[in-house]
Amino acid sequence: MSGDLLNLTLRIWRQAGPNAKGAFRDYQLQGVSTHMSFLEMLDVLNEKLLQAGEEPVAFDHDCREGICGMCSLMINGQAHGPDKATTTCQLHMRRFKNGDTIVIEPWRASAFPVLRDLVVDRSALDRIIQSGGFVSVNTGNAPDGNAIPIPGHVQEVAMDGAACIGCGACVASCKNASAMLFVAAKVSQLSLLPQGHPERASRVIDMVAQMDKEGFGSCTNTSECEAACPAEVSVTHIARLNREYFKAMLITEK
């Protein structure tokens, strides 16, 4: 079962290390089955490079099923490629045509420095969570799970935000390289749930401050992030973040 076979030109960003100069290189790849996933296609390319005595292309990936957020890649200028609600690892080659040229780049943002080829450093996102993206409850402190009922529809919206996979596609797709959607998804989830209320004000203020400190740009409401988000996190969470932020600024004196 090999499906149709494609001959492709791959234009891939190669960069030997964090401080090295990078450049695009072209590779020809023949006989790519349309049943393959995009990353399997890169596996085949790497096998070929190895046989030719060249170094394989480095790219991040792990679960290969759209949930861990490890894979990235700008594919023809789109974060995670052309399909809606799809990570790079879920993208299939049936989406491409014989003879296509595919341009593959790493996430581009000053807060995400390139480590090698297509691999970037996204630890800035971890530091944003460190600054407040949690509920301060030590193990052992919890009341019964049913002690506080949460209306089904509230929990559903919280879950919509919580679904963020932390891949950074929102940043990569934004012309300002803003991390607003990422921050909003967490702020929104924890401000909707009663468990998050005690730290509501400090959380949003601290997370936004950390985001700025990391060098992410500001949000100008172009909604590219929503279009690129593989977990379909909506920009309505950004609206909620803004409301939370203004309320918090009113009530906290710093």
Partner 1 sequence: MVRVAGETLNSKVPDGPIQEKWDRHRFNLKLVNPANKRKFSVIVVGTGLAGGAAAASLAELGYNVKAFCFQDSPRRAHSIAAQGGINAAKNYANDGDSIWRLFYDTVKGGEWRAREANVYRLAQVANSIIDQCVAQGVPFAREYGGTLANRSFGGAQVSRTFYCRGQTGQQLLLGAYQALMRQVGLGRVKMFARREMMDLIVIDGVARGIVVRNMVTGQFEVHTADAVCVCTGGYGNVYYLSTNAKGCNVTAAWRCHRRGALFANPCFTQIHPTCIPVSGDYQSKLTLMSESLRNDGRVWVPKNAKDTRKVTDIPDEDRDYYLERRYPSFGNLVPRDIASRAAKERCDAGFGVGESGLAVYLDFRDAIRRDGEDVVRKKYGNLFHMYEKITADNPYQVPMRIYPAVHYTMGGLWVDYNLMSNIPGLYVLGEANFSDHGANRLGASALMQGLSDGYFVIPYTIGDHLATAHLPKIADDHPACLAAKKDAEDRMTSLLNVNGRRSVDSFHRDLGHIMWDYCGMARNRSGLQGAIQKIRDLREEFWKNVRVPGSGNTLNQSLEMAGRVADFMEFGELLALDALEREESCGGHFREEYQEVDGEAKRNDEQYAYVAAWQFTGYGEEPVLHKEPLSFENVKPSKRSYK
From ligand FES, partner 1, none, interface partner of 202 (C-beta below 5 to 8 A by class)? none
From partner 1, ligand FES, none, interface partner of 113 (C-beta below 5 to 8 A by class)? none
From partner 1, ligand FES, none, interface partner of 71 (C-beta below 5 to 8 A by class)? ligand FES
CB–CB of 250/146 below 8 Å? no
Minimum distance from residue 130 beta carbon to partner 1 (Å): 4
Stretch that binds ligand FES, among 29-37, 55-63, 137-145, 221-229 (CB under 6 A): 55-63
Does position 81 bind ligand FES by CB under 6 A?
A: no
In the chain, the N- to C-terminal Cα span, in Å, equals 64
Phi, psi angles (nearest 5°) of residue 48: -65, -45
The footprint of ligand FES on residues 160-219 (CB under 6 A) is: none
Stretch that binds ligand FES, among 56-64, 131-139, 177-185, 211-219 (CB under 6 A): 56-64
Stretch that binds ligand FES, among 65-73, 115-123, 133-141, 186-194 (CB under 6 A): 65-73
Q: Which one, 110 or 123, has the nearer CB to partner 1? A: 123
The three-state DSSP-derived secondary structure of 45-112 is: HHHHHHHCCCCCCCCCCCCCCCCCCCCCCEECCEECCCCCCCCHHHCEHHHCCCCCEEEEECCCCCCC
CB–CB of 27/103 below 8 Å? no
The footprint of ligand FES on residues 85-124 (CB under 6 A) is: 87, 89
Residue from 199, 198, 201, 210 nearest 244 by CA: 201
Minimum distance from residue 209 beta carbon to ligand FES (Å): 29
Pair of tokens at residue 203? 């959380």
Q: Which one, 3 or 221, has the nearer CB to partner 1? A: 3
For ligand FES, the binding residue among 57, 70, 102, 235 (CB under 6 A) is 70
Minimum distance from residue 222 beta carbon to partner 1 (Å): 26
For ligand FES, the binding residue among 42, 61, 102, 238 (CB under 6 A) is 61
Q: How far apart are CA 158 and CA 62, in angstroms?
A: 26
CB–CB of 251/204 below 8 Å? no
Does position 71 bind ligand FES by CB under 6 A?
A: yes
DSSP strand E in the chain: where? 5-14, 23-33, 74-75, 78-79, 101-105, 114-116, 119-120
Q: Residues in the site for ligand FES, rule: CB under 6 A?
A: 61-64, 66-71, 87, 89
